Structure formats: structure tokens, C-alpha cells
Amino acid sequence: MSRLYLIPSPIGNLGDITYRAVKVLETVELVLAEDTRTSGVLLKHYGISKPVTPYHQHNEHKVLQHLVQQLREGRSMALLTDAGTPGVSDPGFLLVRECVREGIEVECLPGATAFVPALVNSGIPMNRFAFEGFLPPKKGRHTLLTQLSTEPRTMVFYESPHRLVKTLEDFMQYFGETRQCCVSRELTKMFEENKRGSLVEVRDHFQAKGVKGEIVIIVEGAAE
């Protein structure tokens, strides 16, 4: 049956995948992978042997119509990104949008997404939050941070290890040094760390020790 499945993949611990996700991966005809090596490790771990084809930010425009045509012809596919839920700061949106336009069934399974555990364990209010993902590295960064300086909701950001300290310093400049935050790294892995405190305290911590692993930053909103 023609259907595109969006499969959340573990963000670190391979045990963090649902039974249903494994079952779907066993039944689809084709797996689309952001990184075939990363997805290959997951599939091998669960004894799944399926055709795997690359689908990532560098080729998604090029292969889009070909994949949609295969779906129209009745093939079933599963999209796996490196870690977390496809489409959340990862490839997936273009394919989903085209499937919706073409009337092709799309089903997203629940599962791992890095910002959810980071937000829940941050100790910062989570009843209202704004997911910002990765900040622009240069163009548009000043404008966006200026807008967010008065955002009353808790803010959620993704960041790479080598840019973390610089981003925290930008937050100190636009949000104030005393704004509370939590930086979560290596979530679900052996060396998981959740560092909480003011922006300056957390900046000093990572400036002194260095940074490794995937990063989620939670920042409290501005006082209303």
C-alpha cells in the first residue's frame, strides 16, 4: 500500500525506538536515509534488511519527484534521519508537503526528539515554548535575536559543539547574563549532561571544560 512513514530514530541509545517503528521498518519496501551508514547501524542492530537510498539536504530537491512517482505507483517507504524525528531540523518537510499535495498517505510515528527530554528536565517553565532550532550563523542572526529578546515563552535551540560558547555569549548580549538556561548534551548516552544556571554560569562551565556531543539549549523567556 502506498504510504510514507516518518520514523523517529534514537538520538543516542539504540534502545529508544518503539516496537511499532521496528515493525514498520520490517514491512516497508524502501528506507530513505539521511545517512545510510547511520541508518545501516540501526537496521543491522534490529536484524532488518531493506533497500536503503540516501535522502538528505543536498539531494532532496533532485530526488523528490522520483520518490513521489514511486509512491504513486504503490510503493511504501520509511524516512529515517540521523537522530530524532524527520522534519524537525532535519530533511523531511519537502517530501511530506509533496505527498500531501498528491494525496499520498503520510504517517508520522511518535518517538525520539531531542528537544523534548531537554525541555522537560530543564527546570524551566514548559507550558508555553518556542522552538527555534538552529540559529542563522550570520545573516539574519542579529534580527532574530533582537526579536527573541522580548519573547516571553521558553525558547528551545539546537547548536553544534564548536559554536556553543559563542551562542551563549550572544544570548548574554541580547537576553542578559542572568537569564536562566539549561544546556543538554549527549542525551540518552553514557555521558549525558544537563548543565543548569544563568547564561554566564553555563558559558563559563563549557568554556572551561570544552564541549562534545549534540547540544540542546533551553532559555527562559523574558519577564512579561
Q: What letter does residue 3 receive in the DSSP assignment?
A: E
| CA torsion through residues 91, 87, 79, 2, sign | negative
Helices 60-72 and 93-102, packing angle to 10 deg = 30
Q: Find the farthest-apart pair of alpha carbons in the chain and give their distance in angstroms, rounded.
A: 57
Geometric angle at alpha carbon 140, from 169 and 209, rounded to 5°: 25
The correct CATH number of 115-219 out of 3.90.79.10, 3.30.950.10, 3.40.50.1980, 1.25.40.10 is 3.30.950.10
Answer for the pair 80, 42: CB distance below 8 angstroms, yes or no: yes
- For residue 48, the model assigns a pLDDT of 97
CATH class of 3-108: alpha beta
Strand partners, 54: 33
Domain chopping of the chain, boundaries: 3-108, 115-219
Q: Is 63 left (phi over 0), alpha (psi -120 to 50) or beta?
A: alpha
Pairing of strands 129-134, 193-198: unpaired
- For residue 53, the model assigns a pLDDT of 97
For the chain, report the end-to-end CA distance as a whole number of angstroms: 51
- The full 3-state SS of 142-189, as one line of letters, equals HHHHHHHCCCCCEEEEEECHHHHHHHHHHHHHHHCCCCEEEEEECCCC
| Residue 35 grid cell | 545517512
SS3 131: strand
- For residue 10, the model assigns a pLDDT of 96
- For residue 125, the model assigns a pLDDT of 97
Spans of the chain, pLDDT less than 70: none
- For residue 224, the model assigns a pLDDT of 81
Q: Which helix (H) or strand (E) holds 108?
A: strand 106-108
- For residue 131, the model assigns a pLDDT of 98
How does 179-204 read in b/e, with b if 16+ C-beta sit within 10 Å?
Answer: bbbbbbbbbbeeeebbebebbbebbe
